[in-house]
Structure 1
């Protein structure tokens, strides 16, 4: 019975491990002995171009400088290799990517959901929230959700969304007019300033 239990455990572990998704870290650079071409175009650690040299000679030069031979342009003919400290290079590359991600302006879209039966008071509460977000520079999407027979009267939802657009016209411009998509109608607003 113990053997059977171990086989079940093994099968469960194997199944769990196969379900894990693998994270793609992007292109890895080939370094030192992993470079499998006869000749490379070599740039040393001082930036001097040595032209096309045999890979073994390039590896010797890297070992003499106590640095790594890194293939920086594998698609070139012959591949371009540079003598450098690979650890420092990888660290600076991740640092640059992190800085680039910080610099990207992330546009956030805030969504507010209404129904055709939403009262004017509640609609005005949503409008005041949307006004605050638009003044902060965020996009706002109003969505009127229809249920059951309400879908036969889409003009009620369209009227509500057009009223919202009219109220917010001083701080927003309409990016996407009221549009029926399935069981909901959406209106997308952009901040004007």
Structure 2
């Protein structure tokens, strides 16, 4: 939009001669607060168990009114959080931060926020726009693996080696198919002669016991 128009005025007598020097006319179009802020969709991520005050992401709003005026001075606020309130926003910068140390990915792995931007620095007569913020909760290794069963009984044929004896299922509620989830199995006792070996099935997180040698 052209905010300044430069015109030139000419004064002439009836015979066409100049009556005086040309006059420059400068017309400034004053801005009216007729544009609402526009908020882009924002995506952020933060680790579970993050401390209060941890930065997550920044919400950005644009306003087509004149820069450097209250018409484009935007104040941010959170309208709604789902599934629960876990974040707060800096009203001047749009920065989103963790509000309390209670983020648990195993409970909720995604949060959706509706954020509002209001021009006139948040005045009641300012124009507003809203946008959606999606925050992913990243996994940390905060869950202890447990065995599905405390006791296994199995049989194998004698004099046959390199056969699968049993699969031991481990339960870990950390994020599937990550290092936080994948178990490493060790035979602690009862295998002093080295008859058995154990490895992990990376797809199922099972321990595979193999009869690896015979007498």
**RCO greater where, 1 or 2, for CA within 8 Å and sep 6 or more?**
2
Question: Which structure shows the bigger proportion of residues in helix conformation?
Answer: 1
Normalization by structure 1: what TM-score?
Answer: 0.24
Larger radius of gyration: 2
